[in-house]
Structure 1
């Protein structure tokens, strides 16, 4: 399973973001999934601002991030919250 640092580096390579924040929320969900064999990183929130998202709707942005992290999802990333924006768009954060 990838670490947040590895995931951050991957997202930087793929999306060249002007802003990127990863929040490991796994501890807040302890016991949510079976403990046996559960990855240390199970719940992740991604906040990303990238020109890559210009002209894409919310679903297309989420699909792009999901595709970029498909290996991590296959390896057990259980929940991925994505907040993606294009430069200049308002964000809640």
Structure 2
């Protein structure tokens, strides 16, 4: 992916379909869910949500992108890094 926005779009599509998005996640990915649940890339399942993502804030620098928003009534933050010219998601935080 050339841009953070392209990465977000592909990730949202994969998550909405319930597909695994492992190829979009960095090797050191960490997913933080409600109630302290923490998952690495290999255990981050594609979850078919009932609603779509609504991004409320995007902040992008040449090497880091942060998107915050809501899905299914819960807050969601996605952090990505541009490593060796490729954008990868390094962290997802989902609220309850």
TM-score (norm 2): 0.34
Kindly name which structure, 1 or 2, has the bigger radius of gyration based on alpha carbons.
1
Higher strand share: 2
Higher relative contact order (CA 8 A, sep 6+): 1
TM-score (norm 1): 0.35
